[in-house]
Amino acid sequence: MATDATLQPIAGIHSARAALKFGAAGVGELWLDPARRDQRLADLAELAHRGGVSVRGVERDELERAARGANHQGVVIWVRVPAAGTEHDLERILDALTEPPLLLLLDGVQDPHNLGACLRTADGAGVQALIAPKDNAVGLTPTVCKVASGAAATLPYLQVTNLARTMDRLKARGIWLVGTAATATTELYDLDLTGPLGLVMGSEGSGLRRLVQERCDHLVRLPLHGRVESLNVSVATGIALYEALRQRRVPAP
């Protein structure tokens, strides 16, 4: 199993349940600790059997090697990490939409935990695609998939060669691009986010690059009333996406 290069291990009960629930077709095998008496493991085995996934009892030391230091809770699931999409997939997704687009663009996010959290939040907020550059940004990894809790299999993750050029194409389609920047004078809550929208978030350290920032139709800031100067990118993304979702759910007066 471990020699199959197309499969990667993800440890933990919650992550295994998400993988089986949302993408059993991409699961190779479920490993369980036979010495562990936990109803949750029995439930996982049943879920795997229903999805046609092979279940194997594996000794604890082998589970620990596969988990690579993660807390496996007696569970390791081998999954095929989804391949990222491309610019062509973005065009196809946009052409098929019957509602105003809600897209998330991440400019150079490199922490897999942040990307996984952004995927999970974006899926919950109804985002139709997450777009990121191919270079200087994390791709889909086992850690990303674990943190995303199934969203890596349900939300298209597209890596483009040139993010600024992709933004130009989105604008040509009538999609407004709203970026976040600490120097912006407009607050997030003062901007209309109800139309075709691409929310653009910057990297963990330097924020939005100059060319990306210049292509945004609006720049907004999140109000901060404490002593911290910025929020984690995944937290800021969640706040911004759910403000957009709130506005889009409230009928216009």
Q: Which residues are part of a known binding site? A: 202, 222, 231
The length of the chain, given as a count of residues: 253
Residues making up the binding site for S-adenosyl-L-methionine:
202, 222, 231
CA quadruple 79, 11, 205, 136: dihedral sign = negative
> What type of residue sits at position 99?
E
Distance CA 110, CA 149 (A): 18
Detail the DSSP E strand segments found in 92-242. 102-106, 129-133, 157-160, 176-180, 186-187, 197-201, 218-221
Question: Can you read off the two tokens belonging to residue 21?
Answer: 């629930």
Residue tagged 């210049």 (tokens) = 214
Strands 176-180, 218-221: pairing is parallel
Which candidate, 209, 234, 205, 206, places its Cα nearest to that of 222? 234
Who's near 159: CB < 8 A, 6+ residues apart? 84, 85, 86, 131, 132, 133, 134, 137, 139
Q: Are 18 and 119 in contact (CB under 8 A)?
A: no
